[in-house]
Amino acid sequence: MTLQELYQSIGGDYDQAMRVLRVEKLVDKHIRKFTQNGAVEALLSAGEELDATRMFETAHAVKGICGNLGLTELYALAAELSDEFRPGSARQLGDDAVAEKLRRVGEVYRQTAEGIRAYEENV
């Protein structure tokens, strides 16, 4: 499996990752580290408690990481959660809607992690 095939299988944007990181070797290095950095797990943990400060901070971090790596769906979900919990902004979503977005984050993350593991095994 090539790096481009990995991106295709996980619904990522390889071209976006290349625009940011510029070198395929760096994209490869950072996509492999993605599941080890704990950012998504921290977001899901913050979501269990609905801790607004932690929700903003962790969602913002996930948004940045996913934007750099071209992980478009996770980026979009994290951006929505980051905006929802931005300090000084009124919440627009109910707790059930936030829980649904977090459920989707977990689902997409699991699919992405499985794809990355398959890539690592076939490189």
Domains and CATH numbers, the chain: 3-121 (1.20.120.160)
Q: What average pLDDT is seen over the chain?
A: 97
pLDDT, tens digit, for every residue of 65-103?
A: 999 999 999 999 999 999 999 999 999 999 999 999 999
**Percentage of the residues of the chain whose pLDDT score is greater than 90:** 99
**Angle, helices 52-69/24-33, rounded to nearest 10 degrees:** 150
Q: Give 65's Cβ-side CA count (13 Å radius).
A: 22
Grouping H, G, I as helix, E, B as strand and the rest as coil, residue 70 is: coil
CA distances from 89 to 1, 67, 77, 92, 119 (A): 44, 23, 18, 9, 40
DSSP string spanning 83-96? HHT-TTSPP-S-HH
Contacts of 1 (CB under 8 A, 6+ apart): 9, 118, 119, 122, 123
Q: Check if the beta carbon of residue 70 is closer than 8 Å to that of residue 13.
A: yes
What is the average per-residue pLDDT within 19-48? 97
Whether pTM > 0.85 for this model: the answer is yes
